[in-house]
Amino acid sequence: MSDQSADLAFVDKSSAGADERQFHIRVAPGEVSTVALLPGDPGRVPLVGEFLTDVVEVAHHREHRTIVGTYRDRRITVTSTGMGCPSTAIAVEELARVGVTSFIRVGSSAGLQPQVAPGDLLVSEGSLRNDGTTAAYVHPGFPAVPDLELTVALKRHGERIAARAGVACHSGINATDDAFYAETPEWIELLNRQGILNVEMESSALYVVARLRHLRAGMVCSASSNLVAGQSLYGDTHDRLAQGWRLSIEAALEAAVELAL
């Protein structure tokens, strides 16, 4: 080691800033609950807030908007992650530092099997890691899997709530991609052939970070489109997608209450 290197103090990001107001999400210890719902879009945070009482906005910085409210006597945090794995990993890391121990992603995801219709619910049983963020955390063969008990609860409540609304609830393996517009027909066909249920952009980072930090994580999404049935995101599916968002939020909240997260 050179004399110059000996005088340097290298920052350990695994502990820097712990127990303080967090740099990206602008949330401090004591301001959130132990369970957080994670929509991607900050504009959808108020939609979750419609299910809550005594709602307080804690912070809104960059893509990360955070509110806290009450659902059936349980305090619930809602924080938007933005799009993709990098910002999702940051949100989970920083929320964990201020006291959140369980995470449920609620969002949009595109179907890859013909039985998935826009507005259906999609419960994740694990993610194919086609992203760069998790490669920085773990071995290439490390699985991205949600918490088992939480996933079972999400599936149970998702099926009940979807049946009431007249839509379907599917569960299976999803893919997590980094590049939305790089998803070629050949890639979509491969995922379909391998039985992948749906594709989105955040869950692999959520699951890997949660496992490494001894947290619980799961995901229930609304199907935005079907990439193997010619149903484009830009078609006439928005009303069904919006209904699916509400159904997924309700399923996530019911699971959080049942498991006392």
CATH number of the domain that residue 116 is part of: 3.40.50.1580
Q: Domain limits at 148?
A: 12-258
The count of structural domains within the chain is: 1
Q: Is 66 exposed, middle or buried (0-12, 13-18, 19+ CB in 10 A)?
A: buried
Is 2 domain-assigned?
A: no
Is 113 domain-assigned?
A: yes
Is 56 domain-assigned?
A: yes
CA dihedral (48, 49, 52, 53) in degrees, to 10, reads 180
Higher pLDDT, 19 or 88: 88
pLDDT at residue 18 tops 90: no
Structure tokens at 70: 């009450």
**Beta partners for residue 105, in sequence order:** 38, 219
When pLDDT is averaged across residues 117-129 and rounded to a whole number, the result is 97
Is 218 domain-assigned?
A: yes
pLDDT, residue 14, reads 82
Is 6 domain-assigned?
A: no
Whether residue 103 contacts residue 206, with contact meaning beta carbons closer than 8 Å, is answered with yes
pLDDT tens column, 200-248: 999 999 999 999 999 999 999 999 999 998 866 555 557 888 999 999 9
Q: Per-residue confidence at 17, pLDDT binned at 50, 70, 90? A: confident
pLDDT tens column, 143-180: 999 999 999 999 999 999 999 999 999 999 999 999 99
Q: Per-residue confidence at 252, pLDDT binned at 50, 70, 90? A: very high
pLDDT at residue 2 tops 70: no
Cα 79 to chain centroid, rounded = 10
pLDDT tens column, 37-93: 999 999 999 999 999 999 999 999 999 999 999 999 999 999 999 999 999 999 999
Going by their DSSP bridges, the two strands 74-79 and 64-71 should be labelled as antiparallel
Is 4 domain-assigned?
A: no
pTM, 2 dp: 0.95
pLDDT at residue 7 tops 90: no
